[in-house]
Amino acid sequence: MNERVARLRQESFETPVTLDHERAAIVTDAYRENLGRLSTPMLRATAFYDLCRRKSLYIGEDELIVGERGPRPKCVGTYPEITCHTLDDLEILDTRPQNPYRVSDQTRLVFAEQVIPFWRGRSMRAFVLERMEDEWSTYYEAGIFTEFMEQRAPGHTTLDGKFYTRGMEDFQNDIELAVAALDPADADAVAKREQLQAMRLSCDAVILFAERHADHAEDQARNASSERAAELREIARICRRVPRHAPRTFHEALQMYWFMHLGTITELNGWDAMNPGHLDRYFQPFYDRDLRTRILDRDRAKELLGCFWIKFDHHPAPPKVGVTAQESSTYNDFTNINVGGVLENGQDGVSELSFLMLEVMDEVHLLQPQGNIQLSKRTSDRFLKAACRVIRNGYGYPSVFNADTVIAQLLRQGKSLTDAREGGSSGCVETGAFGKEAYFLTGYLNLPKLLELALHDGRDLRTRRQLGPRSGDPVHFTSVADVMQAFAVQVRHAVAVKHRGNQVIEQLFAARMPATFLSVLIDDCIENGRDYNAGGARYNTTYIQCVGIGTITDSLSALEHHVFGGDLPLSELLAALDDDFDGEEPLRQRLWNRTPRWGNDDDRADRHMEQVFELVLELIDGLPNSRGGRYHVDMLPTTCHVYFGKVCGATPDGRHAGRPLSEGISPVQGTDSKGPTAVVNSCAKMDHERTGGTLLNMKFLPSVLAGEEGIEKLARLIRTYFRQGGHHMQFNVVDVATLRRAQKHPEEHRDLIVRVAGYSDYFCDIGEALQEEIIARTEQEEA
Amino acid sequence: MVSGRIFDLKRYSVHDGPGIRTTVFLQGCPLSCPWCHNPESRPGTPVPGFRADRCLSCLACGEVCPEDTKPMPHSPWSATCDHCGRCVGVCPAGARELAGRDVDSESLLVELERDRLHFEESGGGVTFGGGEPLAQPEFLLALLRGCRDRDLHTAVDTTGFGHADLVDQMADLTDLWLFDLKHPDPARHAELTGEDNTLILANLRRLARAGCSIWLRVPLVPGLTDQPEALKQTANLARELGIGRLHLLPYHRAAAGKLDRFDLEDAGGGLAPPTSDHVDRLAAAMRSPDLDVIIGG
């Protein structure tokens, strides 16, 4: 890391996160002026244009890649058209001890006078919550499922390489052609024309945004040192080139992506910010050419990448409220950069630039962006080991994905082979066809809570109220099969409620919240004259993410082992669960310590995972969504396993009420006693190809990974998991003593990054419950 | 199918031979090295263990104990305990344990196969250690034959203290020997371990002559096994026998945590781990172009 990058990195690290009213005020003005006057797509595009036209600009000292979503780094706007924060929300955000967003008095004033009065009852959140049926609300409040789109727009999407060879003007030409091709007899032609015009205006908006940066850079150059003035003039030149035209140099390509990123995250607050896709692959031609023509060397490329990397860290997640703030409490906005993988022609995607990106990941190691490697059978061990050496440094990234499984998942979902190879992973672990797919994650499903309902004839243990359908009095259960039957009733019902709600929400977004800029960048929205949010993309997928597979597997195993195949009467167990094992510690410990458990390569436990997995696949996979696509299943939790755990009573595996559920597909915290190979073998019994992503978190002590031999063995463990079809692995490399020290002296460990679940976070920012849970995850002690 | 007694089985064992391995620890050892880091493995019979910090005082153990003098809450074992293990089976908290359980070779082999792909991918396999694996010859042979039939790479981690016939039989079945030589001098060896090393050295020579693949392993215990002269002698022996790889295993206090648990005497009470400088110096003195000296397993 050279001095410039080190300085910018430190600055980003130290800058506190603030919340600002600028975006909210501009959007409010645009709506006030145009609501009812313009079609919805044109209204959205106009608001976007105004944002690009009016928002204040920032070019930091030393920066080489320019542009911010907010008025300055680490300053986040809000999206009142989606969620309008109340003054109470702002107060909470400002004063909460963890992950605060500082709010100035001026911002509060603007919210109170301009923003809140206009959006009362008009934001998407209000529409969504108002239109949900009572049962949906009851389930939502009970923590059966969460809802991603109640306060953020559909996201989890990833851009591909198309705009490195074509500029905005080229896309505008495509739009003209699409408009010209409209058939006046087509009943949708009017709507399509509005949509296409809005897309064209959105292109103008980002061109204008770049031009304003060019002007601003030239202004700054007038008062700068001669060295910096030259840099600023080069920045200005680049901003006049991209995104209007395709980039020609490495530096232009980086800036091109950055404007696309800013455009998409300014337009709407889609989940997972925006993912750039296979950057090594897209940038490689520019890198090679610039090296050949000697306008770039490796060090300069690394410096530019460093500056580029830091820009992601300037952009914390938009502030969440309510349940969503509980279940996804982090500044991280889940941008995940793919490195490696398989090229469109089937060849290995690793290049010199892939190695360079690993170096940058290693040296910059800020909260954002996340990085991953896509490992295929063709990927060299040299590259894998280079990644393992970064993993060993303990930032929780890069995470490692099985490119071959990712491709198989996409093929199974009906993508073409080319599109599948262009695909990869975004957000935490979600699989997608980059630049061609609108894949909406819609919320987490609490599997252990549904088992709780099944064991109580639909009654919620926490509220003691009837919540789910009557699925059978447990008095009559004589086998796990009986339990599974009742569980199936509960899952089917919950999925039906969720599905009905999702259909409404998807339709609301399609009708009211087109993403007219993103639609330019995702095939085939232009050709179809349809918005990304309305089924315009080539592929349209909806995901439901299942949480707590470890907890439910162990709970079923406990029922099998101690109740139906043992001497513990079910009534006695249920009574103990009702009382959260009060006075029954020996029973609880027996269940906790003496149950065959998931993650130990023990078929007695693992077969219950298979049962549950098959059931959720049967009930979710293939359901139609409202955009012409289908539902699929993910197995990932973000931090939702903590929230879901809070609403779950005691479970048959001896877990106390309120404690976190198992995370991802990882074993229940601290119960995998046979080491990493056994964990891997258990997890490989899941059919990863039929999911859209699974998340396996492992924790290692540094000593296990010491030396080249440690690296070699980690690499082999990863290969073996992937040989068995595993989807993803990520690693925490830190010892408990360090974590305990960080709890005690957070001020000395502010930059300690740990892997949480599909993403990394600062250990001191994640809250005590999650800290304790990370400590409890089994340390894979050396033999 | 042969029955035998093991006290542990560890997967993802990464310091007992090449690649990712599963190590089976066989119970019982005829030597009595004071630095032993698995002291609970020495007796041939199961060793009862008790973790007071886990005990819930629920008395489940007392209810199933067939002896007259039943265990009391927070008291380790019945005075007349014959290691029937019933209490271990009912203890909810895992406070009671027995180091040493009987298994048959067939079911153990099924367990060993579970990590086959990890072995294949990493060039790993199965390691038999202990205790002293040669102390259960029939069991060990059955396991080695079973691994051979299943194409599993095998390593035997041994002190070499076993019958020559057995060692001959094993020579063909074992892919790698992790051969511990505590001390080259017979008299000193006897002082340290209770047995002299005549048989051990003879076995080492037999294996070397038979062309077996051998890694020599030498425990480095300050004051007991770390005399430069003795180490030089061991290194020379390695070179003479064409053994190109020698591991120095610095003494560590890992066994201390087990003493209370298994109610064992602290035979290594006065011992201290060597400093890493000291270990580095000793290793450097032994190293030569034809002998790679590695610190650690």
Chain B closest-CA separation from residue A654 CA (Å): 11
**How would you label A432-469 residue by residue, b for 16+ Cβ within 10 Å and e otherwise?**
bbbbbbbbbbbbbbbbbbbbbbbbbbbbbbbeeeebbe
Of B12, B16, B56, the CB nearest to A677: B12
Chain A closest-CA separation from residue B74 CA (Å): 15
Is the domain of B116 the same as that of B72?
Answer: no
Residue contact A720–B117, C-beta within 8 A: yes
B75-102 tens-digit pLDDT: 666 667 788 888 898 999 988 888 899 9
A83-95 tens-digit pLDDT: 999 999 999 999 9
> Alpha-carbon torsion A515, A520, A521, A522, what sign?
positive
Q: Which residues in B lie closer than 8 A to residue A709 (C-beta atoms)?
A: 14
Is the domain of B75 the same as that of B34?
Answer: no
Domain around B58: 47-99
> Alpha-carbon torsion A421, A422, A428, A431, what sign?
negative
Is the domain of B277 the same as that of B154?
Answer: yes
Peptide bond into A398 cis (omega under 30): yes
Q: Rounded to whole angstroms, how far apart are CA atoms B275 and A776?
A: 32
Q: Which residues in A lie closer than 8 A to residue B14 (C-beta atoms)?
A: 704, 709-710, 713, 782-783
B116-168 tens-digit pLDDT: 999 999 999 999 998 999 999 999 999 999 999 999 999 999 999 999 999 99
Q: Rounded to whole angstroms, how far apart are CA atoms A367 and A602?
A: 37
Strand partners, A547: A446
Residue contact B115–A717, C-beta within 8 A: no
Q: Rounded to whole angstroms, how far apart are CA atoms A348 and A382?
A: 13
DSSP state of A112: I
| DSSP helix/strand/coil, A33 | helix
Residue A280 burial (C-beta neighbours within 10 Å; 0-12, 13-18, 19+): buried
pLDDT at res. A554 = 98
Answer with the residue of higher pLDDT: B193 or B72: B193
DSSP state of A705: G
Residue contact A716–B60, C-beta within 8 A: no
Domains held by chain B: number: 2
Token pair 């109470």 is found at A88
Token pair 């090594």 is found at A280
Q: Which of B78, B99, B120 is the last residue of a domain?
A: B99
pLDDT at res. B214 = 98
Strand partners, A424: A432
From the candidates A581, A720, A778, A782, which should be mutated to test the interface with B, based on the most B CB atoms within 10 A? A720
Token pair 């019958």 is found at B163
Q: Which residues in B lie closer than 8 A to residue A674 (C-beta atoms)?
A: 11
**Which CATH number do you get for residue B88?**
3.30.70.20
pLDDT at res. A388 = 97
Chain A closest-CA separation from residue B116 CA (Å): 10
The answer to whether B121 faces chain A, any CB pair under 8 Å, is yes
Order of strands, edge to edge, in the sheet holding A697-700?
Answer: A336-340, A370-375, A399-402, A728-733, A697-700
Of A589, A681, A720, the CB nearest to B121: A720
Count of residues in chain A: 783
Chain B closest-CA separation from residue A189 CA (Å): 58
pLDDT at res. A778 = 46
Is the domain of B186 the same as that of B209?
Answer: yes
Is the domain of B25 the same as that of B74?
Answer: no
Is the domain of B72 the same as that of B143?
Answer: no
Is the domain of B62 the same as that of B173?
Answer: no
Which positions of chain A have pLDDT values less than 70?
326-328, 747-748, 751, 755-760, 777-783
Query: Which residue on chain B is closest to A585 by alpha carbon?
Result: B56
Q: Which residues in A lie closer than 8 A to residue B118 (C-beta atoms)?
A: 677, 680, 716-717, 720
**Which CATH number do you get for residue B200?**
3.20.20.70
Q: Please, are residues A69 and A262 in contact by the beta-carbon 8 Å criterion?
A: yes
Percent of chain A with pLDDT over 70: 97
The answer to whether B92 faces chain A, any CB pair under 8 Å, is yes
Is the domain of B8 the same as that of B61?
Answer: no
Q: Please, what is the end-to-end C-alpha distance for chain A in angstroms? A: 37
Contact residues for A308 (Cβ-Cβ < 8 A; gap 6+): A65, A254, A257, A258
Token representation of residue A504: 């409404």
Strand partners, A632: A543
From the candidates B12, B16, B91, B245, which should be mutated to test the interface with A, based on the most A CB atoms within 10 A? B12
Q: Is the pTM of this model over 0.95?
A: no
Peptide bond into B85 cis (omega under 30): no
pLDDT at res. A570 = 98
Helix axes A22-34, A40-54, angle to 10 degrees: 140
Is the domain of B92 the same as that of B104?
Answer: no
The answer to whether B197 faces chain A, any CB pair under 8 Å, is no
Q: Which helix (H) or strand (E) holds B48?
A: strand B47-50
Token representation of residue A625: 């969504």
Q: Rounded to whole angstroms, how far apart are CA atoms A165 and A535?
A: 26
Token representation of residue A644: 């879901």
Q: Which of B99, B119, B142 is the last residue of a domain?
A: B99
Residue contact B114–A586, C-beta within 8 A: no
Q: Rounded to whole angstroms, how far apart are CA atoms B25 and B278?
A: 30
Is the domain of B150 the same as that of B185?
Answer: yes
DSSP state of B273: P
Pairing of strands B245-250, B214-220: parallel
pLDDT at res. A173 = 98
Query: ipTM of the assembly?
Result: 0.91
The letter for the amino acid at A76 is V
B204-216 tens-digit pLDDT: 999 999 999 999 9
In Å, how far from its chain's centre is CA A595? Answer: 34
Residue contact B118–A594, C-beta within 8 A: no
Q: Rounded to whole angstroms, how far apart are CA atoms B70 and A674?
A: 32
Query: Which residue on chain B is closest to A587 by alpha carbon?
Result: B92
Chain A closest-CA separation from residue B58 CA (Å): 7
To the nearest whole number, what is the mean pLDDT of chain B? 91
Is the domain of B58 the same as that of B123?
Answer: no
The letter for the amino acid at B125 is G
In Å, how far from its chain's centre is CA A571? Answer: 41
Residues of A involved in catalysis: 428, 430
Q: Please, are residues A506 and A622 in contact by the beta-carbon 8 Å criterion?
A: no
Name the phi and psi angles at A731, rounded to 5: -135, 135
Q: Please, are residues A757 and A330 in contact by the beta-carbon 8 Å criterion?
A: no
> Among A435, A470, A447, A629, which Cα is nearest to A534's?
A629
Name the phi and psi angles at A275, rounded to 5: -110, 135
Q: Rounded to whole angstroms, how far apart are CA atoms B54 and B234?
A: 45
Is the domain of B90 the same as that of B195?
Answer: no
